Amino acid sequence: MDRKHRRSKAALGINLVSMMDIFTILVFFLLVNSSDGELLPSHKSVRLPESVSEQQPRQTVVIMISPDNVMLDGQVVTSVDRLLHRDGSTSPLLRAALVRTLNAARAGQHGATPVRMEATIMGDREIPYQLLKKVMATVTRAGYQRLSLAVLQKPQEGG
């Protein structure tokens, strides 16, 4: 009777020590890893090219160029087909959207320092230079002074 009781009690208490160890290590690892946060949104259809650049992204206006669409801050502005087959070096639709964003930022600004407008282009690795050039020209014409290309950081090889 006594022995049976003791056995059932042992079966009840699962040994959680190793699981606790793993969880504790995992939690700290993930906490440290996620501390820098994600500034740029990601999209499944956009596969960024890899680069050795180490510059950190900043909070900017994001223009995303997927193989099918051009998006500004997550909203589809125009399609790639339309942009490619259009004559002229800029896209009026994208330019209008960019100017709207710029004006909204200027209206919401406080203080004397002028807004230094920046844009980040997240382009799929397969898009042609022709398309990129049109988008970049549009960004410049819309009055943005700084432009960045978002890339995936290449894992460091060797030392």
Partner 1 sequence: MRNRLVRRRLKDQSTDINITAFMNLMVILVPFLLITAVFSRITILQLNLPAAAGPDQAPQKPDFSLEITVRGNGIEVGDRDGGLIRRIPMTATGYDYEQLSLLLRQIKARFPDKQDATLLLEADISYDTLVQVMDRVRVAQVVVAGGVRSAELFPKIAIGDAPAGVKVASQ
Interface ranges with partner 1 (CB under 8 A)? 16, 20, 23-24, 26-27, 30-31, 33-34, 36-40, 42, 48-58, 120, 123-130, 132-133, 136, 139-141, 143-153, 156-159
Distance CA 138, CA 93 (A): 10
Least distance (Å) from partner 1 to the CB of residue 140? Answer: 5
Q: Which is nearer to partner 1, 14 or 110 (CB)?
A: 14
* DSSP H/E element including 78: strand 75-79
Least distance (Å) from partner 1 to the CB of residue 142? Answer: 8
Query: Alpha-carbon torsion 15, 18, 21, 23, what sign?
Result: negative
Q: Which is nearer to partner 1, 22 or 110 (CB)?
A: 22
Using CB atoms within 10 A of its CB, is residue 140 exposed (0-12), middle (13-18) or buried (19+)?
Answer: middle
Least distance (Å) from partner 1 to the CB of residue 85? Answer: 13
Least distance (Å) from partner 1 to the CB of residue 107? Answer: 21
Distance CA 65, CA 72 (A): 9
Q: Which is nearer to partner 1, 77 or 131 (CB)?
A: 131
Q: Amino acid identity of 26?
A: L
Q: Which is nearer to partner 1, 8 or 56 (CB)?
A: 56
Residue 130 is encoded by which pair of tokens? 């022709």
